[in-house]
Amino acid sequence: MIRLHHVPLARSFRVLWLMEEMGLDYELRYHSIREGTMRSPEFRALSPAGRVPVLEHHGAVWFESGAIVQLLCESYPQAGLMPPPESPERARWLEMLHYAETMGSILENLNLNLVFLRPPARPSVPVVKLLKARLGASLAGLEARLEGDHLLPTGFSAADIMVGYGFELARYYVDLEDWPRLAAYWQRLRARPAHVRARARDGEQDIYARDFYPVPEEG
Ligand SMILES: N[C@@H](CCC(=O)N[C@@H](CS)C(=O)NCC(=O)O)C(=O)O
């Protein structure tokens, strides 16, 4: 039995997409950040910080999206989404798997400032400007490391899944067309049949109410 604890458009999308790429049979347990369904003691027993993703995998319970992605790649090596340990691409694969969370932490802070803060709390304009600049720098660094069509010269891998999820959020804060090679890469990822299937199972997101969040007005 494989069960993914999932919030639409959250980091659990990485695991959902990976399982679609692998052709696994799994069930989804939907949660909502706004409704607080992850604060229950039952869920905290699965996830120490009460966060998604959590994957129940044949009796084991795994949390942290990067760890789950690596564990699935190791459990299903025939899917070919991870270079073997002796491969010269291994280091780049691992770097990119974790670079995804460099982007993820910036995006999470933008979400906190611009989406989740409730009045009378107000986002900090200097902090939002800094976060957008940091997001831009992380995207520029990523674009510089694109190897042809994907992150590894040998083609699509789970590193593209970890990083590629970030574009689904980054687009609310920056114009990805500012990095044309990244924008084309994102569209390539979205055109993958497994990505299309994952989006169909993702569910209705209740995080973003607008299409774009600019730096707020001062004052
Ligand atoms: N580093 C963790 C981060 C997990 C995380 O923060 N997940 C968010 C959704 S993207 C969450 O569950 N947030 C719950 C909350 O904010 O209450 C991972 O990659 O799995």
Give the residue, by CA position, lying nearest to ligand 1 atom 11.
51
Fold (topology level) of 2-79: Glutaredoxin (3.40.30)
Indicate the helix (H) or strand (E) that contains 29.
strand 27-30
Contacts of 161 (CB under 8 A, 6+ apart): 14, 17, 18, 21, 69, 81
Going from the Cα of 52 to the center of ligand 1, the distance in angstroms, rounded, reads: 5
Identity of the amino acid at 96: M
Which residues approach ligand 1 with their CB closer than 6 A?
7, 10-11, 33, 38, 51-53, 64-66, 101
- Name the nearest CA neighbour of 36 among 27, 44, 28: 44
Token duo for residue 34? 């706004």
What CATH class does 90-192 carry? mainly alpha
Confidence of residue 10 (pLDDT cuts 50, 70, 90): very high
Whole-number Å distance, alpha carbon 71 to ligand 1 midpoint, is 18
Query: Ligand 1: which atom is nearest the Cα of residue 10?
Result: 10
Task: Return residue ranges of the chain for CATH 1.20.1050.10.
Answer: 90-192
> Which residues lie below 8 Å from residue 171, measured CB to CB, with a gap of 6+?
212
Q: What is the pLDDT of residues 51-75, one digit of tens each?
A: 999 999 999 999 999 999 999 999 9
Instruction: Give the mean model confidence (pLDDT) for residues 96-124.
Output: 96
Mean pLDDT for 95-123 is 96
Comma-separated ranges of CATH 3.40.30.10 domains in the chain: 2-79
What would the two tokens of residue 106 be? 């910036």
Its pTM stands at: 0.97
Q: What is the pLDDT of residues 184-201, one digit of tens each?
A: 999 999 999 999 999 999
